[in-house]
Structure formats: structure tokens, C-alpha cells
Chain A
Amino acid sequence: MPGGASPSGIMLLAHDDLAVYKARRYKDLSFMSRSATSSPGFGLRLRRRFLASEALRGFSLLSPTLLAMVFGLAMPLLVLFTLSFWLQDYVDFIKTFSWKNYADFFDKPIYGMILFKSIKISGMVTLATVLLAYPMAYFIAFRIKTNKLVWLILITVPFWTSYLLRVFAWKLMLGYNGVVNSGLKSIGLISEPLEFLLYNPTAVTITLAHAWAAFAILPIYVSLEKIDRSLLEAARDLGENAFMTFVRVTLPLSLPGVIAASLLVFIPTVGDYVTPSLVGGPSGIMIGNIIQSMFGKAFNWPLGAAISVMVMFTITAMVCAFLWGTHQFRRRVA
């Protein structure tokens, strides 16, 4: 995630200094207490041990958060995984191990097909948001000299509207009596409203690309902003043209932002439920709708759990492949 190798390296160094400093401090302290009482009590020794150990103090600070996350994250995911091997029997579960849900997933092509379609749509959305966001982020990072914050706020303002209403707005744009149709009709390009605009995978793609735009711009902007400008000057001084400077210096250095943006958009959109429900129509159904129906109308929780596990598995595999690919790209170019 954010934060490359160098900042954490610097931090480690700083921590080392701090550790040496603290060790000295505690040695002084222990010396003082030793002179006061010849043999410190067990409680005091324990306390000193605790104070002297960075790891213990760190973990005790971390423990409330970690505990909440274990209870709220690790346990539910474990239960989800377990449930995917059970079976539904009317309102009860049959709590014996079974592969049947996974067999169902692979036997009925519909699940795999819809998962594949969801991946395809999310992939398109990711590509579109990142490609559209990059020049904008570049513009703010390199061309705007003053009031960058105003531009960043300007970018995020549309996203203060509720997510549901933003998705609904595209229904207004693309609908039968929507903005696009009314506009085309009033300039006389069409006589009847176009019906193919809404309720299909393309509508889902456009809507998602709009809804997640800010998630792509901000990480890319941050990574562009961090680039040391003297590197660019050096490349130009050494005879690279503007385009090659971009390809060989700016782009590789902004890659962490591009990667973060891609993951931030791709992973949540694969499982999106709202957008396909509102603008997808029957042909725009995504895997989120299938999972929801397993917990709703179809009422087969274990199968829903198994599908979710498969979705997570697929996403993880895709993300690993993507990270490997960008790693190769960086090695080849830089």
C-alpha cells in the first residue's frame, strides 16, 4: 500500500536512534531505582520489563484496534469460509462438510459467466478511470502553481453527493426521457428516444467510471506531486525529449499511484451491487447481484458464501497477476 521503501527506511533509522536513546534512559532509571531499593519487587520488575520492550508497548497500544479487527474481520471471514462448505436445508444449515456448493459453482456456467463479466466490467472501469484521471492529476501536479488545494476540492465536490444519487443521476442522463435523448431530440438528430443507452453493461461501465473517479485521481496526484522535479530537469539536460522524459522518468515514478488507484477502483467495483441494480438491467447483472439474491430471494446462504469465496479468490489472483505485471514493466522501462 502507500509509502514506498525509502520513507519506512528513514523511519527505521529514526527508530534506531530512539531505541538507543530510550535504552540509555531506562538504564539511568534502573540505576536510580537500584540505588533506592536493593531488590525491586516482582511487579516493578515486570513494569520495567514492559517499559523497556518496545514491541510490548507497541502491541498494547495496538491491541484494542487489533482485537476489534480480529473480531470484526478475521472471524466473519472464517465463518464465511466455513459456511461455504455447509448446505442449506430450508431455514437451517446442514453442518457437515461438503464440496457441493463449489461443485454447483463449477457445474452451472451462469455463475462463472457472471463472475467473468463482472471482472471484465471492472477491468474496463479501472482502465477508463485511470486513463482519464492521469492527465487531470498531471495537470494539477505540474501545471498548477498556486491554489492546488482549490483544484483538489473542485475534483472532490461532485462526490459529496450520495453514492446512490450519483448512480441515479446516470439514469437521468441515459434514460428514455433523459438528458442525452432530450438533447439529441431537441437538436433534431433523432426523432424517437434511443432505448439502448440504459440497462446494459456499457451503462454500468460509464456509471462506475464516473462514481469512482476521485479514487483514481487522488493517489495518482499524490505520487506525481512527490516526484523530485530536478530529476525531470536532469533527464532533459541529458538530452531526452519531453515524451521520453515522461515515459522513462515521470511514468515509472508515478507507478505506485497508478497501482494504488487501480486496486482502489478494481477491487470494490467487482462486487458492486448498487450500480448494476439501478442501471444494469438484465444484461448488466454482476456477481454482487447474484450474491445478494442468495441471501435474499434464492435463500441459499452456503452457496452465496461459496460464490463469495470464489470472488475473493479470483480477485486475489487478478491482483497478484497485476502487481507482477507492473513489476515487470517497471524493471523493463526504468
Chain B
Amino acid sequence: MNANRPWWRPDGFAVYAIIYLTFIYLPVLFLPLFSFNKSKYIAFPLKGFTLQWYEKMINTPDLLEALMNSVKVGVAVAVLSTMFGLLAAKAVTRYRIPGRGPVMGFIMVPLVIPGIILAIALLILITQLDIPLSLWTVGFAHMLLCTPFAMLVLISRMEGFDKSLEEAALDLGESAWMTFWRVTFPIVLPGIIASLLLTFTISFDEFVLAFFLTSTDPTLPIYIWSSLRFPTKIPPVLALGATIFVLSFVVVSFAEWIRRRGVKLESSSGI
């Protein structure tokens, strides 16, 4: 931004940025507001401050069970899809593969297909194979959706580092496996962490696939969906939403703080 600009003639882009941020923040900020509102109806005017919805949230076993289901599925999906993404990213960036474009395009298909169509296609296949619907089928569907994201994140990290490091390790007599663990893995680690976080978040928030592919075990979005139909069940859900939001804010700030410290240490050590 231009610091010499007088305050009565602000930068048009800066003004726009503030309006834009208001647009994307405003609706979302009303959710935590109503989680503190002393009324079970989500409507104005506000009735006063209360923490009862947070208390109710902790005392709603269904909600906590759905939360646990989502965490379980999310962790499994994050680990598996990052693994698949890592294999694919290494293959694509390190080897000349005939038909690289079509193969990558094929893996990316879940990104460019409406979720509902992927969901019903999987539903048809799974019922035709007589596989019972469960959290496993949800996890499988989420893994399909998350693998391309993991691959994209890891490809950009793999492309960014110097291949000669790997070659040097191989030349100095390390086996391919040890080269991976001692050279490749530490360098792509930030990419792996980013991929784990991203895939977990996608799975944790995914609704349509889970909606079609689960039987009786709800994931958190499915629980939220069912409670949106009953006005009185909404406030505890808003309380949970606010809690998750604050938690993720803390996690991301902490991660950013760590990253900055790392950068500072690196630059101060004179590398």
C-alpha cells in the first residue's frame, strides 16, 4: 500500500478489500453470536447472554458421537489419501511416465465432477456389490475426493526441491528406501503436513458423499443437516461450530507462529 497517500484519498483497492472482507465475514459472524443468545429461536431481536448452549452441546451424546465419527473418518482419510498422493506425486515428478497427462487428469476427475454424481455412482456400485453402507464406505468416498488434493499439494512441494540431493544420496550408497526416509521425506514434510491438514478438513466438512453413503452412523455434517430441520436443536450446533472455529484458529495461528520462528532461526543462523 502507498504510505504517502493522504487519508481523504484512500486506495480504491484497499477500500474494496475491506468491503469484500465484510461480505465474506458478516454472515459467518452471526453464527457464534446466536450461540450466546438466550433464546432457542434463531431470530432477532437478541434476548440476552447465555452459555447454556455450550453446556447442552457437551451433554448431547448424539452430537459428540457424530463429532467422533467425523474425526475418525477424517484421520483415516487424511493418512490414506496423503499416502496415495505422495506415491502419485513422486511417480509423476521423478519418473518419465508415458501418458503422464491422461493419468494425472484421471486422478483429478473427482475435483471436476459434481459431488452428488460421484455419490450416487458410488452408491450404485456399492449396493450392486452388496457391500453394507457404513463409515467405511464414507471414508472410501472421501479418500477418492481427497487424493487429488493431496497429490496437487505434494507435487508442488516435490517440484520445488533440488533432485540432485536425492541423486547425491543414491550416489553415496544409500538404498532407494533410505534415500526416501533420510532425504526426500524431511524435505517434503511441510507438504505432507499441509496435505494431512487439507485432506482432514475436506473430509471433516464433506456432506453429500457422507449423506448418500452412510447408514446409521452420522458424521458431523449429517448430524448438523438433520438438526437444521428442528429449530430447537440448532443452538448447540452453533455452539459446536463456534468451538471448532476457535480451535482451528488457535491451531493455524500456532502453526504460523512455529513457521515464522523457523524462518527467523534459519535467517539468523546465516544460511
What residues of chain A have their CB less than 8 Å away from a CB belonging to chain B? 1-2, 7, 11-12, 14-15, 18-19, 21, 54-55, 57-59, 61-62, 64-66, 68-69, 72-77, 79-80, 83, 132, 135-136, 138-140, 143-145, 149, 153-155, 157-158, 160-166, 168-170, 172-173, 175-179, 182, 210, 213, 263-264, 267-268, 270-274, 278, 288, 291-292, 295, 301, 304-305, 308, 311-312, 315, 319
Contacts and interface: CB of A to CB of B under 8 A. Distances in A.
Contacts of A157: 25, 249
Interface in B1-37: 1, 11, 13-14, 16-17, 20-21, 23-28, 30-31, 34
Contact of A164 (B95, B114, B225): B225
A268 B115 contact: yes
B224 interface: yes
B43 interface: yes
A68 B144 contact: yes
Contacts of B141: 72
B88 A65 contact: yes
B120 A73 contact: no
A73 B109 contact: yes
A150 to B, nearest CB: 8
B207 interface: yes
Interface on chain B toward A: helix, strand, loop, or mixed SS?
helix
Interface of B: 1, 11, 13-14, 16-17, 20-21, 23-28, 30-31, 34, 42-45, 84-85, 87-88, 90-98, 103-118, 120-125, 128, 140-141, 143-144, 147, 151-152, 159, 163, 167, 201, 205, 207-208, 211-212, 220-221, 224-225, 228, 234, 237-238, 241, 244-245, 248-249, 252, 256
Contact of A163 (B87, B221, B245): B221
A168 B240 CA distance: 14
A135 to B, nearest CB: 5
A66 B107 contact: yes
Nearest to A81: B121
Contact of B107 (A69, A140, A166, A267): A69
A153 B225 contact: no
Contacts of A160: 201, 244-245, 248-249
Contacts of B34: 172
Given A58-B94, A76-B122, A64 B87 contact: yes
A254 to B, nearest CB: 15
Contacts of B256: 149, 153
26 contacts: A2-B152, A11-B93, A12-B96, A15-B95, A21-B167, A61-B88, A62-B87, A62-B97, A80-B117, A143-B11, A158-B25, A161-B31, A161-B244, A162-B224, A163-B221, A169-B27, A178-B44, A268-B115, A270-B114, A273-B208, A274-B225, A295-B123, A304-B120, A308-B116, A311-B117, A312-B114
Contacts of B84: 64-65, 68
Contacts of A139: 13-14, 16-17
A165 B249 CA distance: 17
Given A62-B97, A273-B116, A161 B245 contact: yes
Contacts of A178: 43-44
B224 A164 contact: yes
B225 A291 contact: no
Contact of B125 (A57, A79, A144): A79
A66 B212 CA distance: 24
Given A64-B87, A138-B13, A55 B96 contact: yes
A250 to B, nearest CB: 13
A62 B103 contact: yes
A271 B115 contact: yes
Ranked 5 nearest A-B pairs via Cβ: A271-B114, A58-B95, A177-B43, A76-B121, A61-B91
A271 B116 contact: yes
